[in-house]
Amino acid sequence: MESSNVLVPLTLASSAALQMGSGGRNNPTLVCAPIMAESVDKMVINMNKAKQGDADLVEIRLDSLKSFNPSNDLKTIIKASPLPTLFTYRPKWEGGQYDGDEKKRLDALRLAMEFGADYIDVELQVACEFNDSIYGRKPENSKVIVSSHNYQDTPSAEDLGNLVARIQATGADIVKIATTALEIADVARIFQITVHSQVPIIGIVMGERGFMSRILCPKFGGFLTFGTIESGIVSAPGQPTMKDLLHLYNLRRIGPDTKVFGIIGKPVHHSKSPMLYNEAFKSVCFNGVYIPLLVDDVANFLQTYSSTDFAGFSCTIPHKEAALKCCDEVDPVAKSIGAVNCIIRRPTDGKLVGYNTDYVGAISAIEDGLRGSHNSSNTADSPLAGKLFVVIGAGGAGKALAYGAKEKGARVVIANRTYDRARELADTIGGDALSLANLDNFHPEDGMILANSTSIGMQPKVDETPIPKHALRSYSLVFDAVYTPKMTRLLREAEESGAKIVTGLEMFIGQAYEQFERFTGLPAPKELFRKVMANN
């Protein structure tokens, strides 16, 4: 695979292309709501919804209409639209729904232009023919977007550059390229093309691995991004809602010098971290954005996005151990645990520094649970001292829990599906090992503590549990690192069995305090964190 770490070593603070916008906007990137409906009446309703949702323009997908009378319907739509209009009549051969006569399709787009459409989207394959046909008759206020969609992959930087040149050669006012991400590193090539473009450009990478292209386009000078009026109704894979774009990711506040943070994981879209950190960044006026990053190869990701603008990352399942190996420096505690969940790119030299904030978050939440309080007590002795502490899972989070419990004087037992991994971790920290299957009948004493560090029971597999209910009777406290859902089957059954429970939410909030402070250099807004998580 080609090395792409040269692709994003950029800061755009000096870019003349992006002036400070009006009304508190830090960028001129437009938010466009795709309007797909079977009837013109429904389109008019949805255009008004887009206006209420604060979109800048609407994309009218004519190919979604069940019946279409160009001269009447186009006039109705343009007259009724409360926002500027972009007309797209996408044929099947370019991923759309239209499967009729090409001449009729292009005639309809020409007519839309005559009637006052602000933008027309024409595919590269027919752009020269279309532009020749309107030569000299194009209304002054109408712009032609020439688009190319690739549903297979994202070409090389060189091929993308050639593609932009071909689109420009058609006489396009605006270039649009939509590609597909096979891995998250592909997005860097679109960012490179966007930031160096001399003409207005829309650069989108489709699919979940391309998601950040939709959020970060204002940082790199993209002309517009698409946001749906409601979730689930998308015109291309991976589109966020307008609400998320504007209120979760604060898109209009993203500028060329905005720092990028995110959560590296697989899966990752269930994470509540973006909600938490973006709200906190906004509350302290910190110029950063925090996004979900679906990463397959953590080393390649960190190498590709090597600029100091990509300033810090949370790290979750399954990358905590692999991420440690990618760091230039590792905090001694994280080194002892053998896993990192927080990576900071040092602004002075771009070096990656790894930390583990999991163990503090989890252990203090468990101690508070044992003490029956949310306020950490500073008594010298931990309520974990001398307790038998059973950890399910031997991955990064399991290592953090085992290390933290051992530090507090607990006797630690590791239970894992593969016994050898449990044995390896137990030997490292000085504990005992079990296979997960043997945990069902393991009760050498009463009053033990159980901590699940695996993803068993996480959405969408909420009916799963790592241990049967009858085996929970020997535990005085059960902790689950899973926090979506907050009340897992394991915790529900533990509570029914008489144990105290500590949710993964407590650990999540605890570990997030330290990460926020490392990301921003500012004290964590703890009350806000609790409020955000209580409401979501």
Q: Mention the CATH class of domain 362-373+382-502.
A: alpha beta
- CB 77 within 8 Å of CB 104: no
Report d(CA 76, CA 65) in Å as an integer: 14
Tokens of 141: 């206020």
- DSSP strand pairing (342-345 vs 352-355): antiparallel
Question: Domain extents for the chain?
Answer: 30-256, 279-355, 362-373+382-502
Distance CA 521, CA 409 (A): 32
Q: Which of 272, 319, 320, 406 is catalytic?
A: 320
Query: Which is the CATH superfamily of the domain at 30-256?
Result: Aldolase class I (3.20.20.70)
Phi and psi torsions of 59, nearest 5°: -100, 115
Catalytic residue among 63, 118, 149, 319: 149
pLDDT value at position 417?
95
**423, 364 contact by CB (below 8 A):** no
From 56, 63, 73, 176, the catalytic residue = 176
From the list 63, 73, 358, 480, the catalytic residue is 358
Separation between Cα atoms, residue 487 and residue 470, nearest integer Å: 18
Integer-rounded Cα radius of gyration of the chain: 27
358 carries an active-site annotation: yes
Cβ neighbors of 328 (< 8 A, separation 6 or more) are: 351, 352, 353
Q: Which residues contact 323 (CB under 8 A, 6 or more apart)?
A: 264, 298, 302, 313, 315, 339, 340, 343, 354
What residues have CB less than 8 Å from 298, skipping those under 6 apart? 264, 315, 319, 322, 323, 326
- The answer regarding whether domain 279-355 maps to CATH 3.40.50.10860 reads yes
Cβ atoms of 228 and 196 within 8 Å: the answer is no
pLDDT at position 233:
74
Confidence at residue 375, expressed as pLDDT on a 0 to 100 scale: 52
pLDDT of residue 19: 33
User: What does the buried/exposed string (b/e) look like for 94-126 if buried means 16 or more CB atoms within 10 Å of the residue's CB?
Assistant: bbbebeeeeeebbebbbbbbebebbbbbbbbeb
Q: Is 176 a catalytic residue?
A: yes
DSSP code at position 477: E
Residue 127 structure tokens: 């752009």
Query: CB within 8 A of 316, min separation 6: which ones?
Result: 263, 264, 265, 268, 271, 341
pTM of the model: 0.87
Residue 244 bears catalytic tag: no
Contact 205, 190 (CB under 8 A): yes
Handedness of CA 510, 514, 515, 516 (dihedral sign): positive
Domains 279-355 and 362-373+382-502 share a fold: yes
Tell me how far CA of residue 274 lies from CA of 115, 134, 278, 378, in angstroms: 42, 46, 6, 31
Q: How far apart are CA 368 and CA 128, in angstroms?
A: 69
pLDDT of 379: 55
Taking only the tens of pLDDT, the chain with its 536 residues reads 333 343 443 333 323 233 333 346 899 999 999 999 999 999 999 999 999 999 999 999 999 999 999 999 999 999 999 999 999 999 999 999 999 999 999 999 999 999 999 999 999 999 999 998 888 788 989 999 999 999 999 999 999 999 999 999 999 999 999 999 999 999 999 999 999 999 999 999 999 999 999 999 999 999 999 999 988 777 777 899 999 999 999 999 999 999 999 999 999 988 999 999 999 999 999 999 999 999 999 999 999 999 999 999 999 989 999 999 999 999 999 998 999 999 999 999 999 999 999 899 999 999 999 998 555 555 568 999 999 999 999 998 999 999 999 999 999 999 999 999 999 999 999 999 999 999 999 999 999 999 999 999 998 899 999 999 999 999 999 999 998 899 999 999 999 999 999 999 999 999 999 999 999 999 999 999 999 998 87
* Contact (CB, 8 A) for 244 and 227: yes
Counting every residue, how long is the chain?
A: 536
Say if residue 139 is preceded by a cis peptide, omega within 30 of 0: no
Is-catalytic flag, 374?
A: no
